[in-house]
Chain A
Amino acid sequence: MPGGRERELRRRIGSIQSTKKITRAMELIAATRVVKAMQRANAARPYARLITSVIEDLAAGGAEVDHPLLRQAPEVRNVGFIIITGDRGLAGAYNTSVIRTAERQVMAHVSEGKGYSLCCVGRKSASYFRFRNYRIDNAMSGFSDNPSYDDARRIAETVSESFLVEAVDQVELIYTEFVSMGTQRVVVRRFLPLVDTEMMAREGSGTGREGSFEFEPSPEAVLEALLPRYTEARLYGALLDAAASEHASRQRAMKAATDNAEELITKLSRAMNQARQDAITTEIMEIVGGAEALGGGDTTDVDIALASMLAGTDASMPTAAGASPA
């Protein structure tokens, strides 16, 4: 039946157009969120920097402590992992690349005969590892696109707790680092045990401060109060980076989806226009053929039939000939 193919193509174009509307909307939303997430990450930087500089001062002041968070286990038997992914998909490779790195890490430790303990942050990592029958000790979600400091504190407390009771001897933090709008990369960082203060001081900005600080109550007491805050601040920074990365990835993925939809619509419109022209040509041929068979050479009947048909399809003919995809 002529026109059947045309109708089918028209339906497909319609459905791609509505998909495109959705991806376009998601792209725009992600674009505004990524800006906000970057601002939050920047606003959080002074605190992290200052905490590090306080640690530098403590190192300069000669604080020596045997804090449980600094405990270096002689033999690492169980490794904890904090895996930070998003709650929702449609963000390109964002979730899968974190999950893939995490799984490889877990496998590497398991093959060395160590135990593992997973702390999944974000719904995506939790559902992935749950489906594959990994044992998940902690799963937290619902804040991946807008993490608060309280969320960071909750995670840091849970993980520090299991480190302090020696359920794990080492904790790795796996998240996506936000380098720039165009670049985000998955990183694996040692979360616990904390490296000693001198190492932390060296990791910091190294501004060469003087070592004549007065401490109250004592360098050791300050450091002891400081270390839990330091872990929280680090985790908070990671969460903010991950959130910014998630939005940036989603924006990019949705932009690609929108572009693809546009391309597909162009292609399908061309195919549709061609199908319509084919149908019209076939129809004309049928009429001409039929009229010739009836009239037996009398051309006036054919002309009349053709003229009436052209008048009927007048509206669609010029566009069909023009084949404009817009």
Chain B
Amino acid sequence: MAVELDVELVSPEEVTYSGSAEMVIVRTVEEGDIAFQAGHVPFLGVLAPWSVDVLRPGGERDTFAVHRGFVEVSHNKVTILSDVSEAADEIDTTRAETARQRAAEALAVDAEDVEAAAALERAELRLRVAAA
């Protein structure tokens, strides 16, 4: 049996998810996806607003939208620290859709609107994760 990873998703309020996995896929701010398997060297990275995929031993996949945070890997333990993250089934798609439209409209008026751009990015990430 292959060695498994312990995965924990930790928010400031609580430990939101913990379980074991064969592989964890994240994206760091360097615009690159990185996957961890058991035996990975100790790693510490800043996460980009992107999804985090946890591949469970049974072949299941848990997906989270992580809007910002860090990933730490050591001793076959993957810890994701994030103050803004959501599980795929927690996402309200209709709300995300309206948020996306609103942000897109704001951007159409003012292309320099940083907040709208961030909102658009967040909404798109939510929709993508919910669809996965």
Contact = CB atoms under 8 A, between A and B. Distances in A.
A214 B36 CA distance: 13
Interface stretch (A39-47, A86-94, A253-261, A268-276): A39-47
A212 B81 CA distance: 20
Contacts of A210: 42, 74
Interface string B57-88: 00000000000001010100001010100000
B42 A222 contact: no
Given A51-B81, A222-B70, A217 B15 contact: no
A261 B114 CA distance: 60
Given A213-B41, A216-B46, 4 more contacts: A44-B13, A213-B42, A217-B28, A217-B29
Closest 5 CB pairs of A and B: A216-B45, A43-B14, A213-B42, A149-B12, A225-B46
B44 to A, nearest CB: 5
B112 interface: no
A57 B41 CA distance: 13
Given A54-B72, A216-B28, A47 B46 contact: no
B55 interface: no
A229 interface: yes
B11 interface: yes
B12 A50 contact: no
B81 A222 contact: no
A174 to B, nearest CB: 21
B122 to A, nearest CB: 15
Nearest to A58: B44
B83 A149 contact: yes
Nearest to A209: B74
A245 to B, nearest CB: 19
A44 B34 CA distance: 28
Contact of B45 (A50, A51, A222): A222
17 contacts: A43-B14, A44-B12, A47-B10, A57-B44, A57-B74, A153-B83, A213-B41, A213-B42, A214-B42, A215-B44, A216-B44, A217-B46, A222-B44, A225-B46, A225-B70, A229-B83, A232-B83
B44 A47 contact: no
A213 B43 contact: yes
Interface in A42-75: 43-44, 46-48, 50-51, 53-54, 57-58, 61
Contacts of B83: 149, 153, 229, 232
